[in-house]
Structure 1
């Protein structure tokens, strides 16, 4: 029986753990939250931070694992690579994974290798960061370099709010580093989605339209709709530039999560390429629309096993993931769902019960629940996803 270690056992990280359980693999989970549901499927679990490189490596060696997975977690991805490299397990170069997982390193890599990149620098000093921000025309973003789930991100439109924005970002950064970068103006939707690398080649990719709720802060994705409505010529260019990036970093295997935009001049800007599967139920929606199971591929690739990954998998139908969220702090009462939206729900998982506290949605840690939706047309899909607060909202006590 093969033994697989999962870094993180939170609700969003359940799919690969459930898959491994169904396959009969021995499961080891690692994180510092004993109540996380993934631990219930594990033969053993360890109370250890998923970012503790040597601590996780010690556990992995003790357990003599055959594979390691960091599912939907940027902070844990370098740890998986570190352990994989040390134990000669299927993995990518540790330094390359760090380059993808840490925003300032990624921006520097893009700059050095001729990719389009916004003006950006990282700082540990708020005053130095403010001086840089003042040198930039227009708005800037402040972001922790090493967090995930869009936590700690602020769009700064007024110099008076900069210090608070910097400190907010720093609070979510393990290293205390905050990146300040100029705001880019996109044409059309921001593109999200997942891909998979096999033998160094981007063997599969499925891209989506990313949706935001501007009644919150407009920065945290509240869903992804598939397939992308951008022209194929732009998406093909993104594919070729992704492959160039993979070659430069010697990325050989595993899942990728994308966020990129095109400007009015059709210039491509990679915002993030996460060396892991996407959250927000992206792999599950891809499985509905294409039949390709990136969850299974992730586990099997980590174990060095063969797995099915067809080259040509056209997307069928119009699907979306949706993150149920609150527009204000309060106590959860119920969830209002319109009749129109109710008929589009394929899966629904609400994490809150009556009386539980909810917060204004500012990051993935404020999630109330999740849904998978199916629509009749691309037009209906985009129209509803862009105006979901008319269809679904939290009712407070």
Structure 2
């Protein structure tokens, strides 16, 4: 039987566990983007130089390479191209190309949610500053301004003073691939927002998951996730409500099998809101941590799905302890000297260290996921233990710059 070929769009470090698991399955892995020095290309079997936002170019390359499956795992810009290629070549994907376009565009997604009666903030999309400024009175202030097509909190600004709106719009437009932004009412959350990976099988949500996503108020961008915790502290009734909302959304969109990254929150109006749904694994190694914490493998499931291979059973997650994805970052700029973790703390609580920087690298303030220094996977027996540790991280992790 010929070796199956899997195309992975992108070349970031997040793809390394996908490549590793694919190789264990005997799969030939092709990584594709326009940056040949990206780290994932050093571990794949073949590199294809193509812009992953050019869906027709990706399709031509995929046909030439005779691929059997395609993923854009944790790589937001490649999702619509992956859906497009899969649809044109008759390959498995989470959803149709049309559904992927809706999910990947924050403005289209808000419109879809509103039209179908989901809980949804008042929102509107724009392609230029002038049109947006004319709608100042449309929103309930404060507002949040975002690119419609970026991930990792890049280009996102909360605006309280209307005088600052113009600058926020310009920031969002500059961070957008398509030069489109969205303005929406800022939803005042209760407790922690959730960001987690979920999994559907034949359109049914079989693996719902929720986390506590926390932020560093002292970071250069206080809306960039800094800590993620499983299981979530969200009340079960809201988790059940969100699971039902997601299932209704997936039914409306006619989705199939695969992984999705979902952001959600409970707000001060007593309602649970789906904020974002993307047909891909999340960044910050979310699927890796969830796999480690639950003993299931979303990554293997996603690879097998993409290649049309029989999947292992995937069921609702049960967590072995309390887990934390701690995003290493700096509030200052400088040259990295070292990152040191207290040996006793490391031995007791650290399950994985994923540094993406080395001494001498230039470090910039934490404005988005692309400014992180790496991740630590931490495991505790209780939430109280975890909360005590993350309340004073300076006592166990030391980032030295010069």
Output the TM-score relative to the length of structure 2: 0.95
Q: Which residue of 2 aligns with 1:259?
A: 263
Counterpart of 1:141? 144
8 A Cα contact 1:208 1:225, kept in partner: yes
Equivalent of residue 161 in structure 1, options 134, 157, 164: 164
Cα distance between partner residues in 1 of 2:149 and 2:82: 15
Which residue matches 2:373? 368
SS of structure 2 residue aligned to 1:280: coil
Could you give the per-residue CA deviations for residues 55-112 of structure 1, whole angstroms, max 9, x where no partner exists? 0000110011110011012221111110000000012210101111110010000000
Unaligned runs of 5+ in 2: none
Residue 76 of structure 1 aligns to a residue in which SS?
helix
Q: Which shows bigger deviation, 379-388 or 57-66?
A: 379-388
* 1:302 equivalent among 296, 300, 306: 306
> CA shift at 1:312, angstroms?
4.4
Q: Which of residues 215, 232, 238 in structure 1 aligns to 2:236?
A: 232
How many residues matched?
397
Q: 3-state SS of the aligned residue for 1:196?
A: strand
CA apart distance, 1:35: 1.4
Give runs of aligned pairs for residues 95-114 of structure 1, distance below 5 A.
95-114=98-117
Q: Which residue of structure 2 lines up, in the alignment, with residue 122 of structure 1?
A: 125
Question: Residues 211 and 340 (structure 1 numbering): CA distance in 2 closer, same or farther, change over 3 Å?
Answer: farther
Cα deviations across residues 243-265 of structure 1 (Å, max 9, x unaligned)? 00000011112101111111234
Per the alignment, residue 332 of structure 2 pairs with: 328
Q: Secondary structure at the match of 2:178?
A: coil
Residue matched to 1:288: 292
More off after superposition, 309-318 vs 282-291: 309-318
Cα drift, residue 335 of structure 1: 2.1
Q: Deviations over 1:155-190 (max 9, x none)?
A: 112223222221111111111101111110111111
| Equivalent-residue separation in structure 2 for 1:311 and 1:345 (angstroms) | 26
Closer, same or farther: CA 134–335 of 1 in aligned 2, 3 Å: farther
- Please give the secondary structure, in 1, of the residue aligned with 2:311: coil
Aligned counterpart in structure 2 of residue 379 of structure 1, from 376, 384, 395 = 384
After TM superposition, the score normalised by the length of structure 1 is 0.96
Query: Structure 1 residues 128 and 391 mapped into 2: Cα distance closer, same or farther (>3 Å)?
Result: farther
**Does the aligned pair in 2 maintain the 1:75–1:146 contact within 8 Å?**
yes
Q: Is the 8 A contact 2:206 2:316 kept in 1?
A: no
**What corresponds to 2:279 in structure 1?**
275
> CA 1:152/1:199 → structure 2, altered by over 3 Å: closer, same or farther?
same
- Aligned pairs for 1:211-226 within 5 A: 211-216=214-219, 217-226=221-230
In structure 2, distance between residues paired with 1:135 and 1:380: 45
CA drift at 1:267: 0.5
SS in 1 for 2:195: strand
Of 387-396 and 315-324, the range deviating more from structure 2 = 387-396
- 1:15: which partner in 2? 17
4+ residue stretches of structure 1 with deviation over 6 A?
A: none
Structure 1 residues 268, 283: closer, same or farther in 2, change over 3 A?
same
Counterparts of 2:183 and 2:365, CA distance in 1: 24
Structure 1: which 5+ runs fail to align? none
Stretch moving more, 347-356 or 383-392: 383-392
SS in 2 for 1:184: coil
Map Cα deviations across residues 193-215 of structure 1 (whole Å, 9 max, x no partner): 11111101111122211011110
Once residues 395 and 163 of structure 2 are traced to their aligned partners in structure 1, the CA distance between those partners, rounded to angstroms, is: 33
Residue of structure 1 in register with 2:175 after alignment: 172
Q: 2:5 aligns to what?
A: 3
Question: 1:394 and 2:394 equivalent?
Answer: no
2:206 matched residue in structure 1: 203
| Whole-angstrom CA distance in 2 between matches of 1:132 and 1:380 | 47
- Conserved? CA contact 1:352–1:368, under 8 Å: yes
1:359 and 1:390 mapped to 2: Cα distance? 22
Residue 93 of structure 1 aligns with which residue?
96
Change beyond 3 A, Cα 1:313–1:259: closer
CA distance in 2, matches of 1:389, 1:273: 34
Partner of 2:48: 46
| Local SS of the residue matching 1:57 | helix
The alignment's C-alpha RMSD in Å is 1.6
Q: Is the 8 A contact 2:208 2:317 kept in 1?
A: no
